[in-house]
Amino acid sequence: MTEQQIIDAAYNLLEQDNTKWATTDDEYSTARAFLNMGVGRWETYMNTTWRELWTTLTDSASTLSGDKTTSAAVSAYDCPTDMVRPGGYVTTSASTATSTHTFWTVKNPEDTAILANSDEYYCYFTGNKRTGFDLHFNSRITLTAGHTIDYPYYKAATTSSSTSTVLEMSDSYYLAYFIAAHMSEEGINADFFNMSEEKLENMRVQNMSGLWGVPFQIDDISEGFGDVGGKTISSTNQTGR
């Protein structure tokens, strides 16, 4: 659902007619503010790690400033501005249809001091949500210019400033009920609020339920890829990893 569809649904709940707020109305601006408050509640709800917020550097928008290709004699690269925390591995690969992937073991920044003279294929991330993150490759390894960088990362939830914005959460009606609950003339409407909370909890339970046919407990991905740090592995050999 777009922002417009969510806010229209909230209007229907409150007014029980089909007139809708114009985007220039004060009520619409208020509804957008409550929508973004609802997004913030979803994003931080019970410290849930939402599957919808995992993405990759490859899939991130170009406007987010993440460096996606290597440069000669450069070991540090900007990460996307919506990064909250990195995932468990990094790859570099030649930009060809039959490319091979080099896996880099992700280290904690505080561990790199003991690796000062190491030729291991490792990398690490520095930074924070306020100033942004950077990816650092072992500066003793010579990178080939023009290779593609990729890694998974956990992103910040999208907030809305446009009628056409589509949000990540699986049940957008949570936001419609959240908005309606907080814009009721009698104060917070308990029925609407309880419905929004029920939808929020249902999303959390669904998020924890796992994928069909995939074991609930899986090995730490960073440990698995750490065993192949620095090895170039054909992309055709990665099926099922």
Same domain assignment for residues 129 and 65: yes
Same domain assignment for residues 63 and 125: yes
Same domain assignment for residues 58 and 142: yes
DSSP, collapsed to helix, strand or coil, labels residue 236 as: helix
Residue 18 inside a domain? The answer is yes
pLDDT tens column, 166-201: 999 999 999 999 999 999 998 999 999 999 999 999
Same domain assignment for residues 100 and 151: yes
Q: Which of residues 117, 135, 156 is at a domain's end?
A: 156
- What predicted TM-score, i.e. pTM, was given to this entire model? 0.85
The bridge status of strand 100-107 relative to strand 122-128 is parallel
Same domain assignment for residues 137 and 204: no
Same domain assignment for residues 101 and 140: yes
DSSP 69: B
Domain tally for the chain?
Answer: 2
CB 80 within 8 A of CB 134: no
Residue 89 inside a domain? The answer is yes
Same domain assignment for residues 79 and 127: yes
Consecutive H or E run containing 213: none
Average per-residue pLDDT in the chain? 89
**Closest C-alpha to 147, from 223, 236, 229, 58:** 58
DSSP for 144-165, please give it.
Answer: PTTPEEE-EEEEPPP--SSTT-
Residue 15 inside a domain? The answer is yes
Span 75-83, mean pLDDT?
Answer: 97
Bridge partners for 93 per DSSP: 101, 148
Residue 16: both structure tokens together: 């029980």
Same domain assignment for residues 102 and 22: no
Residue 10 inside a domain? The answer is yes
CB 169 within 8 A of CB 42: yes
Is pLDDT of 221 > 70? no
Q: What is the pLDDT, as a whole number, of residue 152?
A: 97
**Closest C-alpha to 86, from 75, 74, 77:** 77
Consecutive H or E run containing 194: helix 190-208
Segments forming the whole domain that contains residue 176 = 3-50+158-208
Is pLDDT of 20 > 70? yes
Residue 229 inside a domain? The answer is no
**pLDDT band, very low/low/confident/very high, at 139 (cuts 50, 70, 90):** very high
Residue 65 inside a domain? The answer is yes
Same domain assignment for residues 131 and 183: no
Residue 214 inside a domain? The answer is no
Q: What is the pLDDT, as a whole number, of residue 97?
A: 64
Residue 147 inside a domain? The answer is yes
Same domain assignment for residues 22 and 69: no
CB 165 within 8 A of CB 3: yes
Span 214-222, mean pLDDT?
Answer: 53
Q: Which of residues 117, 133, 156 is at a domain's end?
A: 156
CA 197-21-25 angle, 5° bins: 110
Same domain assignment for residues 45 and 57: no
CB 88 within 8 A of CB 154: no
Which residues, 6 or more positions from 27, have their beta carbon under 8 angstroms from its beta carbon? 21, 183
Span 91-112, mean pLDDT?
Answer: 86
Same domain assignment for residues 152 and 62: yes
